[in-house]
Amino acid sequence: MTGLPPRNKVGLVGTGMVGASFAYALMQSGVANELILIDADEARAEGEAMDLNHGMPFVSPMRIRAGGYDLLAGCDLTVITAGANQRPGQTRLELIQKNAGVIRDIVPKVVAANPRGTILVATNPVDVLTEIAAEVAGLPPGHVFGSGTTLDTARFRFLIGDYFDINPQSVHAYILGEHGDSAVPAWSMAKIAGIPIADFLGRDGRRADATVMQRIYEQTRDAAYEIIQRKKSTYYAIGLALRTVVEAVLRNEQTVLTVCSPIRGLFGIDGISLSLPTIVGHGGAETVLQSPISPAEIELLRKSASILREMYESVRA
């Protein structure tokens, strides 16, 4: 595609279902002018590029190409979704041994081709792999970060909105910590129209008591397992989540998202990546916020960090 300015260029390493769903969502957003697709299965990446390009008459012009890592030169952001998929009954943390090796192989190639770009990790377990990717990349703070609990937070908001029959975009609530079993629901910060969830009265007199809140949290935590049991994998919602993060970077939106990045000192946590509300802009995870969560939630967050740090140490090079 000629005539496009050399800006808003995005790379994607891994064109499985998550990567392809993200590419499809990004293509429709109109925010990027160029997308590079890379996969160990070169034919797969080429096929995805062909299929996406055939939809170009229906969207804003952009250039989509498949090829090698050299094509990543000049990318504002490279998204990594490559790695083994989570199997039914398997936790995200059980994926770590194989996918740690994948990240250690891919990240140096990305940095060599594009040393000034930003890297967004989506491969699971994303918290541990983001820590490994940041260590391997050696880029400035914030330039390597992960999708974290952006999807968990979206599920959380959807379920709260569904319970109260309210648009989830009107729900302000966050899932912190691990993208997985030790995720922390920040109920102390959850609000609708500025009203704390515990005090919110629905149109039918509905309230969220402790039992309801626990059920919503469990549904949020277990959503991936439920979906995988039914359709083998999850990809649409994470594809949209990744598009949202990428838009925040390309547009320098300064949007607060629950991405994960290396935490060094907040809430007494050090030496591991996990998710906290973070200002995301052109520099990636630019500012991690020390949100006013309750003492009980801080303790749960520290426990989540301890679990992740133990897993990280088990695969540390």
Q: What is the mean pLDDT of the chain?
A: 94
What band does 5 get if pLDDT is binned at 50, 70 and 90? very low
pLDDT above 90 for 89: no
CATH 3.90.110.10 in the chain, residue ranges:
150-315
Q: Which two tokens stand for residue 6?
A: 């050399």
pLDDT at 190 over 50: yes
Q: Which amino acid is at 24?
A: Y
- The model carries a pTM of 0.94
Question: Strands 278-281, 270-275: parallel, antiparallel or unpaired by DSSP?
Answer: unpaired
Arithmetic mean of pLDDT, 260-270: 96
Confidence of residue 84 (pLDDT cuts 50, 70, 90): confident
Confidence of residue 95 (pLDDT cuts 50, 70, 90): confident
Residue 317 has pLDDT above 80, yes or no: no
Edge-first strand order for the sheet with 260-264 is 63-66, 34-38, 9-13, 77-80, 118-121, 144-146, 260-264, 270-275
Beta-bridge partner residues of 66 = 37
Percentage of the residues of the chain whose pLDDT score is greater than 70 = 95
Distance CA 27, CA 134 (A): 27
CATH number of 150-315: 3.90.110.10
pLDDT > 50? residue 168: yes
- pLDDT at residue 90, as a whole number: 66
CATH number belonging to domain 9-146: 3.40.50.720
pLDDT computed for residue 92 by the predictor: 62
- Per-residue pLDDT band for 2 (boundaries 50, 70, 90) equals very low
Q: How confident is the model at residue 242 (pLDDT cuts 50, 70, 90)?
A: very high
Assign 315 a pLDDT band (cuts: 50, 70, 90): confident
DSSP letter, residue 216:
H
CA distance readout (Å), 87 to 18, 40, 226, 234, 305: 14, 20, 12, 11, 24
pLDDT given for residue 163 in this prediction: 97
How much is the pLDDT for 7?
64
Residues of the chain with CATH 3.40.50.720: 9-146
Dihedral angle, C-alpha 184, 90, 241, 165, nearest 10 °: -60
Q: Kindly tell me if the per-residue pLDDT of 96 is higher than 90.
A: no
Q: Which residues are catalytic?
A: 179
